[in-house]
Structure 1
Amino acid sequence: MKDSYEQRIQNQFGAFCVKVLKNEARYIQREYARLRDQEKSLGELTASELEQTAVWDKHFMDEHVFDVQGLPVVVTGNLLADALAQLPEGKRDVILLSYFLGMTDREISDKLNIVHQTVSKRRLTTLKELREYLMKEGFEWPDK
């Protein structure tokens, strides 16, 4: 008697599980149908609707890459990049290697094949030129 009772409970539980799974499957199918009714393919959208879905990533828009002896140097900021682009290549290379790649004067002189003292002089004169250019363009220096 105990075996038939356990068997009946197992059968009832099995039937309950099947019913729950069937109901869940129906629910999922209805949900998918509802979502399909609300969706539009991109081909069906008008030009103005498509424009509303567009997102312009501005993350890299103000990044500029300078090439220094085969090394790419990324400069962020349009004004600074414009100022650096105005410089002669030799002066620009000293600034980029020094401030953007963190090289020492000795490393820069070896890389550019110039005298060590020339690196220091170029950096000083170039920094003055950059400052004048930035001030002329209306850059305001932050308070210290």
Structure 2
Amino acid sequence: MYLQSHKKHKQHAFDSYCKKILKNETRNIYKEIERLKKYEVSMESLSEKDLGKHVIYESGMTSEFLFYVENVGTVIVTGEIIAEALKLLSKDKQDIILLSYFLGMSDRKIAEKLNLVRRTVSRRRNRALVDLKKIMEEYTK
């Protein structure tokens, strides 16, 4: 009798624990979405004038640049400005940007391909974006 009630207690405790975890994770996701809303704006909501401030239009985007990524192969980049900016990045940051934005891979898949931790990929990608922004701002001046 005691053993059965002990098992039930453990099961209820585990159920309660799982529900708390899911509730907290859901709350964290909603908080993250709200935090991102402060910094991100959809392109559809921008006016032409505002869009012109943030977008670089290139004429004659016929030039293609090839970048080699270890364990993946060749990635084609069209556009001279972005290609030149990518060339100035370190090889690891370059690979992460190419895999993430040109091949559409998630951080987890990139981490598997490059034998890294997912968090490392995320940090390098964020740092590479900051570096790319600086390079491209200087290039367009």
The two structures have a TM-score, normalised by structure 1, of 0.53
Task: Give the Cα separation in 2 of the matches to 1:129 and 1:79.
Answer: 14
Q: Which residue does 1:63 correspond to in 2?
A: 64
- Mark the structure with the bigger radius of gyration: 1
1:66-104 alpha-carbon deviations (Å, 9 max, x no partner): 011141111011111000001111000000000000111
Q: Could you tell me how far 1:59 is from its partner in structure 2? A: 7.1
Q: What CA distance in whole angstroms lies between the structure 1 residues aligned with 2:104 and 2:139?
A: 27
Q: CA separation of 1:85/1:106 partners in 2, compared to 1, >3 Å: closer, same or farther?
A: same
Give the unaligned 5+ runs of structure 2: 1-59
Distance 1:109 1:78, change over 3 A: same
Give the 5 Å matches for 1:1-144.
Answer: 60=62, 62-69=63-70, 70-138=72-140
Q: Which runs of 4+ in 1 moved over 3 A?
A: none
- Aligned equivalents of 1:59 and 1:95: distance in 2? 20
What percent of counterpart residues are identical? 44
What secondary structure does 1:65 align onto?
Answer: strand
